Amino acid sequence: MSRRRQIYEGKAKILYEGPEPGTIIQYFKDDATAFNAQKKGTINGKGVINNRISEHVFTRLAHIGIPTHFIRRLNMREQLVRQCEIIPLEVVVRNVAAGSISQRLGIEEGEQLPHTLIEYYFKDDALNDPMVAEEHIACFGWASNEEMQDISSMAIRINDFLCGMFSAINIRLIDFKLEFGRIWDGDYSRVILADEISPDGCRLWDMVSGEKLDKDRFRRDLGGEEEAYQEVARRLGLLQDDGNPGEVFDLSAHRTKLRGTPVKKK
């Protein structure tokens, strides 16, 4: 596929104009950042691994009725996705205390939370993605009440599914980040899952050893980032014995169907 016009470049991905109206090509980079891009580096092969893992996760989520922007994987580093209006929120789902919540509340890292916790952060690197309440979201019109109901409901369903999926391969899902967008159908919109789900945005610990298999290895200068990402892909059945992402199965013809609560355009 010939290279098309670049639309946007972020910390982990580049977005290009898609081959058809309403589509975008999402390119996964090897660049690694932490602390809102204050720390920068490279994890060799990260983009290839994240592309495969995110494809796998989004496809399985579509099978349980979660609407997503994913259409199909194009090659080792690119996906074709639906163009959507990104809701300016990072949705963080926490099962176990780690990272910022341990620092903010003085909870020992690794402590199981009494119940799953959903936090919202306003997407703005210049402001260091500040944590916000649902009252802020409603006040500033970042998402409607109906959209927030869809987002929270989907976040819980995604968490339940991912906890089971990772538990089956002896990985403990500590927390993870989600992003959502809206797609318009005339005067109505639907909320869909967007961005990616990969070790970049998840905390994944080995159930036996507690070894970190995610971007915390880069954040905390633990080393072994490439091996950790590869280990997650290998356990998911997405990596050949030689360490290369193989064509384990063909999902190129998969299409997701839109579901969710229609919201009338204001």
The two structure tokens encoding residue 193: 């899952």
Is the pLDDT at 249 greater than 50? The verdict is: no
Q: How confident is the model at residue 185 (pLDDT cuts 50, 70, 90)?
A: confident
Q: What is the DSSP string of 142-193?
A: SS-HHHHHHHHHHHHHHHHHHHHHHHTTTEEEEEEEEEEEEEEETTEEEEEE
% the chain with pLDDT above 70:
89
- For the whole model, what pTM was predicted? 0.88
* Planar angle of CA 221, 226, 231, nearest 5 degrees: 115
Is the pLDDT at 28 greater than 80? The verdict is: yes
Is the pLDDT at 106 greater than 70? The verdict is: yes
Average pLDDT value over all residues in the chain? 91
Half-sphere exposure of 39 (CA within 13 A, CB side): 11
Mean pLDDT over 177-185 rounds to 96
The rounded distance, in Å, linking the Cα atoms of 238 and 119 is 31
Could you tell me the domains of the chain? Answer: 6-84+226-235 (3.30.200.20), 85-215 (3.30.470.20)
The crossing angle, in degrees rounded to 10, of helices 225-235 and 46-63 is 30
The crossing angle, in degrees rounded to 10, of helices 46-63 and 145-167 is 110
pLDDT tens-digit readout, 196-226: 999 999 999 999 999 999 999 999 999 999 9
